[in-house]
Chain A
């Protein structure tokens, strides 16, 4: 299908709109779709017309950013880390080709692009690979500073805070969640569960303003930013925790702000089409865990 371009100019600063036509194809448990994201820019700049495509695996779309500029993302539909990269590119209105990897049969491109750790995601910009999701996010923010909104805040102290919280999400939430999910003993599971819940409660607290009196719609403030993108990769996994681990990570009493944030975030144009389907994710994770246990 040929993407068509719509343009719009708004006087309010950065916002996102979706065009009217939207196709969804459900195939083998994966959702594919293409959408045309519009970038509305503040009144101090002329309106930009940017074409983006959220690509189905193996289908080459027309992702060109500018003449000669080519972006590819290697990932899997369920990887929280790959999701961060795709979200960041979508937020900035950057077109890219998405390539779904089979981790049991890694592509030559992946092995060549990331020979050191052989992990996803990888961003390939004009043939040059960049690895590690947080490194990729900062690269996108810096390399394409002139395009779309910034991920990191402008204030230097706030930037340091954003980097702190991104590291926290990886070292506390993600690491402990994995330990909880893979735990072999009750003791291991209990400890990791405690740590994961503590991390979730800490993040809940971040959505309150500094004086604790009001709520922030996003971790980035009025608009989503770096920390939102970093945490968003884990939304489906957090939602699936009840089914996967028998643990109530999210509930209306203890984590109301996070629940609202998740709903709000998932509605954003940049997120809508690429957030993984929860049921598929849970099924995939159960099968994967069973395989791993059988191997042990």
Chain B
């Protein structure tokens, strides 16, 4: 892996927002210095690099910080356009489609499953599970349309939407272990279910995604610290 001088990533190993950036860098074969952050006691570098939000991930390229996971993924794809595979497709309509579903995965699916973890009542939990499954239903349909019979959302190999949704899978495993909730069930979402297995087999996933127990431990730590939490506080 080519070591790129002056490339650092401030992150949290279990954060889906960080995982997708690491996946993008892995896909491109770009080396970088990874610096794990303590989000309970934020370090100077993080505070200075992301003054506005003080959140991870932050990619620091030749001293200049890039923030917001999707902006970072686009940046990596554009700066290293000549290196490795493209993360976003070439066609403007396909790019728009990938971006639409990525935005959907982040704004509809993610807050729903995070809501399961923080639900105060059984009723609220059931509601969040419902929202999660509805979102998965739409993504199942999207997979059919985007993949056109190929193994990944992006086609023959992983791309933007695979990374955005793939970065959340770790937590689906954690939800199963801790709450008995199955987010992607083979009977209800067969295409996605098969995709999950395939995605897990890729180098991208194997090299970047931490073990589910690390996510479980982190959630337990969060639960003991902050009763009730927004996505922002949880994972970035």
Contact = CB atoms under 8 A, between A and B. Distances in A.
Contacts of A135: 96, 99-100, 103
A167 interface: yes
A136 B67 contact: no
Interface string B44-86: 0000000010000000010010111011101100110000000
Contacts, number: 58
A163 B92 contact: no
A284 B233 CA distance: 36
Contact of B52 (A132, A139, A168): A168
B95 interface: yes
B75 A159 contact: yes
A68 to B, nearest CB: 16
B101 to A, nearest CB: 9
A168 B61 CA distance: 21
A160 B100 contact: no
A9 B212 CA distance: 62
Interface string B121-140: 00000000000000000100
A138 interface: yes
B6 to A, nearest CB: 13
Interface residues of A, number: 23
Contacts of A187: none
Contact of B78 (A125, A128, A139, A159): A159
Given A156-B78, A159-B75, A168-B52, A132 B103 contact: yes
A159 B70 CA distance: 12
Contacts of A167: 68, 70-71
Interface of A: 116-117, 125, 128, 130-132, 134-136, 138-139, 142-143, 156-157, 159-160, 163-164, 167-168, 202
Given A139-B93, A167-B68, A202-B52, 14 more contacts: A125-B93, A130-B100, A131-B100, A132-B103, A135-B100, A138-B99, A139-B95, A142-B95, A156-B79, A157-B61, A160-B75, A164-B67, A164-B68, A164-B71
